[in-house]
Structure 1
Amino acid sequence: MQSELVTIPFDGRRIDIECQWLRPERIRRPLVVFLHEGLGSVSMWREFPRQLCEAGDFRGLVFSRYGYGRSTPRPHAEKWGVDFMHRQAREALPALFDALDIGPGRRHGKPWLLGHSDGGSIALIHAASFPDAIDGLTVLAPHIIVEDISVRSITATRETYLTTDLRSKLARHHADVDSAFWGWNDIWLNPAFREWDLRPLLDGIRCPALAVQGEDDEYGTMAQIEGIHRYAPQTVLLKLARCGHSPHRDQTGALTAATVAFITTHTSILK
């Protein structure tokens, strides 16, 4: 299915967001909105969103955030602030939902959010900020605090980008690969970002939540999802062996089965 560009207001201007609908004809089925990782995009998800939606008989919406994929690139002189994920969750995502008629009482109804890494953090912020706007969420390797392991791995990724073919590989997925990479890398390695902390807002999450972490994640430890459970005790934890930072790639079958069961069970309860 082809992507489309949806124009939304953000930061005092109009920007284009790359979107792709999956199985839109299944209008009465749960809608899963996929929020990508820090260097992700619509195409970087590969086949996972479609596989999950087909396995659960769900609808899907995959989109590239501002600065990623075929969405409007970040101007190179524009530096993201420490609150960049909060702004995505509280400003850009609601604007996209408004443009696409998603939400309570709207054509597409309340969505389920499925976020990976930075996208998982954005999903958590959105769920805490708008507790009645979504039916539930699944977060894969989310960040709620900045750990030393995260900074070490992101520093290593910077060196890899500068010295290997990583840049050319990522360029297949982004209209402006340097905009995408440096927007993410610069803020994560900014010393001010070490104080970034989602824990104070997590008790605002009221919806069902499934939090997933790989035992071999090179960007975060189990403290991330255990922290979510501490503040939002309804959260179900899934810890996956032989799994790094991308459960949807490393443990596709186990993650798909768990997510389908979780959404299906809670959809029945919500009815």
Structure 2
Amino acid sequence: MINWADGKGWVTAGGKRLEWAAWGALGAGPVIVLLHEGLGCLALWRDFPERLSQATGLPVFAYSRANYGQSDSGDLPFPVDYMTRHAVDVLPEVLDAIGAAHVILMGHSDGATIAAEYAGRVVDYRVRGLVLMAPHFFTEEMGLAQIRRARDAFADGDMAEKMGKYHRDPVATFKGWNDGWLNPDFAAWDVSEVIDFLRIPALVIQGKDDQYGTLRQVDEIVSRSYAPVDVLIPDDCRHAPQVDQPEAVLGAVSAFTQRLIAHEAAQPERA
């Protein structure tokens, strides 16, 4: 069990030691659990978690998955189903360690997919809502083309040096993500079936100019989810809405969480 009062520390999940940090007061409402993108980590959320806690009035928890940030090294190469494995095998242990009665999973890119997979594959009544920023449920050629460009940029430029400011082993971090997505078997990757099992409200946010995925990803969850889905498509926004349009994201998440809390407060208590 983590000690929330410490504000940061280490948690063991999936057999790996993972770095974490927390903002706000535990017990002030459901904890928003942040799940980072494919090249993200705890530090790369920058000031967003603190601003998110202030905007929503809720506690926020973030951590780096294995192979990211200062967490333990991950097992390479990543299998094609690496997001599913994290959702099923690792995230439950993280949530247990937080010790919160209720949580809202908020993910970006790979992290959004992990959040949706958890909600669709694991029965966990602690999870009350989803915030999915730039989720992907299936591959698209335009996204794979962008990932191939990233591979070339990493080989020819100073990307490793820049990533080294945030990741203990930037080469392993990049290769885990890039080699996973460019595995020939990944072209057929599709986890959209998890949408059919969602039973909690979701807020889906995707930049209008997202270079890694089209609005087909959003349409998929809107058309298939059993539960309500709110959508925000910010203009002048690429793959990272929390970076390109932070005020729009914070406003939408705040309104979404307030509705969730108000709805639950209006429900009759169970005997």
* TM-score, length-scaled by structure 2: 0.92
**Which secondary structure does the structure 2 equivalent of 1:32 belong to?**
strand
* CA distance in structure 2 between the partners assigned to 1:229 and 1:216 by the alignment: 19
**Which secondary structure does the structure 2 equivalent of 1:37 belong to?**
coil
Instruction: Please list the CA deviations of residues 127-163 of structure 1 after superposition, one character each: whole Å capped at 9, or x if unmatched.
Output: 1113533010101001011001110000001111111
* 8 Å CA contact retained: 2:196, 2:224: yes
> Residue 138 in 1 paired to residue 131 in 2?
yes
Letter in 2 for 1:255: V
Listed as ranges, the matches of 1:235-254 within 5 Å are: 235-254=229-248
* CA distance in structure 2 between the partners assigned to 1:227 and 1:121 by the alignment: 13
> Residue 163 in 1 paired to residue 161 in 2?
no
Instruction: Please list the CA deviations of residues 85-127 of structure 1 after superposition, one character each: whole Å capped at 9, or x if unmatched.
Output: 00110110001122332xxxxxx11210110000000000001
* CA distance in structure 1 between the partners assigned to 2:55 and 2:264 by the alignment: 20
* CA distance in structure 2 between the partners assigned to 1:231 and 1:82 by the alignment: 24
* 8 Å CA contact retained: 1:127, 1:133: no
Aligned match of 1:92: 90
* TM-score, length-scaled by structure 1: 0.92
- Size of the aligned set, in residue pairs, is 258
Aligned match of 1:105: none
Aligned match of 1:80: 78
Listed as ranges, the matches of 1:187-206 within 5 Å are: 187-206=180-199
* CA distance in structure 2 between the partners assigned to 1:4 and 1:26 by the alignment: 15
Distance 1:98 1:30, change over 3 A: closer
How many percent identity over aligned positions? 34
> Residue 4 in 1 paired to residue 9 in 2?
yes
Specify every segment of 5 or more residues in structure 1 that has no aligned partner in the other structure, as ranges: 102-107
* CA distance in structure 2 between the partners assigned to 1:214 and 1:133 by the alignment: 29
* 8 Å CA contact retained: 2:140, 2:213: yes
**Structure 1 position 227, deviation (Å):** 0.6
* CA distance in structure 2 between the partners assigned to 1:244 and 1:237 by the alignment: 16
**Structure 1 position 2, deviation (Å):** 5.7
> Residue 111 in 1 paired to residue 103 in 2?
yes
Aligned match of 1:56: 56
Letter in 2 for 1:128: G
Letter in 2 for 1:3: K
Specify every segment of 5 or more residues in structure 2 that has no aligned partner in the other structure, as ranges: 1-5, 266-271
**Structure 1 position 26, deviation (Å):** 4.5
**Which secondary structure does the structure 2 equivalent of 1:236 belong to?**
strand
Instruction: Please list the CA deviations of residues 50-95 of structure 1 after superposition, one character each: whole Å capped at 9, or x if unmatched.
Output: 10111111101010011101110125xx211111000110110001
